[in-house]
Amino acid sequence: MQEFLYSALPTRVLFGTGTLGQLAAEASRLGIRRPILLTTSHQRQMAEDAISLLDGLSAAIFSGATMHSPVEVTEQAMKEVERVGADGIIAIGGGSTTGLGKAIALRTDLPQLVVPTTYAGSEMTPILGQTEDGHKTTIRDAKVLPETVIYDVALTLDLPVGLSAVSGMNAIAHAVEALYARDGNPIIDLMAEEGIRSLANALPLLLGNPRDSDARADALYGAWLCGICLGSVGMALHHKLCHTLGGMFDLPHAETHSVILPYAMRYNAEAAPQAAAKVARVLGTRDAAVGLQQLARNIGAPGSLRTIGMAVGTVDAAARRAVENPYPNPAPVTEDGIHRLLSDAFNGVIL
Ligand code: NAD
C-alpha cells in the first residue's frame, strides 16, 4: 500500500456556460459590496460587461494587469484599491490578471473572485510569482488562493487559437510534473491524467473550429484539473527551467512552457518511468516526450526557444542559472545535462 498525504484546496468552483451570470450572487456570498475589477487593457470590455451584471454594486475597473505581475503595477493597482475603498477583488482574464488579484490579496487579504479566460491554472493555486527589478520570486501563501472561481466556457470561445495552444500546453505541464512530484499522490495523479487527456483531445479540435463549445468546455475542464495539480504538489525541473528563462530573458510564459515540456519529459523519463508511462498512455503514444512534442506540433505551438525570442549565445548562462537552487527532480540535475536540454530546446530538435 502506498502511504500519502492529500491536502484539498478549499476554493468554491462554478463550472459551465453562462456562469458569469452568477457573478453578483457569488460576489454577495463573499460579502463584496465595492469590488475592484481587474483585467488587461485588451480585455477591458469583458470587465465592463461584467459590471453590468453587478447592478447595485459600485465597482471600479483597473485594466493594467501585465505578465509576471510586476510589483510597480501592483502598487498602481493598490492606489486604486485604496482610492475606491474596495472590499473585494474580481479578476477577469488570464494568469496575468489572476496574478495581479493575488498580489493585491497578499497585501490586503481581500476576498478574490476569479473568472479565468485562459488555461494557465493560476486560479487554483496558493502561489504568486511577482517580478521586481528583473527578478522573479515565488511566494506560497494561503491568502493568495482565490475564494471563488467562476469558469464560464463562453468567455473562452474567442481566446485566439495560438494562445489556446500554448496556454493548453502550459496547463499540461502542470499535470506532467505532478505525475513525478516528490510529494505526489494517487488523487492528484487521477486529476493529472484526466487533465492531460481532456486538453489533448480538445486542443486539436480548436485548431479547425475555435468556437467549438464542447472542445472549449473540455479544454477549460482539463485546465482546471491541471491547475489543481500545480496548486497541490511541488513542481520540478520543467517549471524551474521556465521560471529561469522567463526571469532572465522575459520570454513569453505559455510559449516557453510549450517549448520546454517535451525536453523536460525526455530528461526525466528514465528516472520517472511510471509517470512517463501514464503520460504516454493518455496521449496514446509509446513515448511520452515524443507524444508531447507531436501534440505541440499538431496544434501549431512554437517548437524552439529561438523562435520565441531567446537570443543566440545565451544557453550557457541559462544552464548555469538553472542549476542553481534546483527544485526536487526525479533525474539528477547536472549543468551538462541541462545544457544539452536547453540547446535542443533552443534549436527545436525533433525527438
Ligand atoms: P495572460 O494572462 O498574460 O494573457 C495573455 C493575453 O491574452 C492578454 O493580453 C489577455 O488579455 C489575453 N486574453 C486572455 N484571455 C483571453 C480571451 N479569452 N480572449 C481573448 N484574449 C484573452 O497569459 P496567461 O498565459 O494566461 O498567464 C501568464 C501569467 O500567469 C504569467 O505571469 C505566469 O507567471 C502566471 N501564472 C501563474 C501561475 C501561478 O500559479 N501563480 C500559474 C500559471 C501562470
> Domains, the chain, ranges and CATH?
12-156 (3.40.50.1970), 161-347 (1.20.1090.10)
Say how far apart CA 267 and CA 292 lie, in whole Å: 13
Question: Of 282, 259, 264, 257, which Cα lies nearest the Cα of 327?
Answer: 264
Query: Atom 15 of ligand 1 has which residue's CA nearest to it?
Result: 117
Distance between Cα 92 and ligand 1 center (Å): 10
Q: What are the φ/ψ torsions at residue 61 (nearest 5 degrees)? A: -110, 135
- Structural element, H or E, at residue 294: helix 288-298
94 lines ligand 1 (CB under 6 A): yes
pLDDT of residue 134: 65
- Sheet bearing 35-38, strands edge to edge: 12-16, 148-152, 112-116, 88-93, 35-38, 60-62
Task: Provide the grid cell at 245.
Answer: 528563462
197 lines ligand 1 (CB under 6 A): no
pLDDT of residue 286: 97
Taking 50 as the pLDDT cut, the residues of the chain under it are: none
Distance between Cα 253 and ligand 1 center (Å): 8
pTM, to two decimals: 0.97
pLDDT of residue 58: 84
Quote the DSSP letter at residue 326: P
pLDDT of residue 330: 98
Distance between Cα 40 and ligand 1 center (Å): 9
pLDDT of residue 135: 74
Question: Of 224, 253, 229, 228, which Cα lies nearest the Cα of 241?
Answer: 253
Pairing of strands 60-62, 12-16: unpaired
Query: Atom 38 of ligand 1 has which residue's CA nearest to it?
Result: 122
Distance between Cα 99 and ligand 1 center (Å): 9
Instruction: Report percent pLDDT > 90 for the chain.
Output: 92
Distance, first Cα to last Cα, the chain: 36
Say how far apart CA 336 and CA 351 lie, in whole Å: 19
> Which atom of ligand 1 is closest in space to residue 156's alpha carbon?
18
Distance between Cα 118 and ligand 1 center (Å): 6
Task: Provide the grid cell at 140.
Answer: 506560497
pLDDT of residue 192: 98
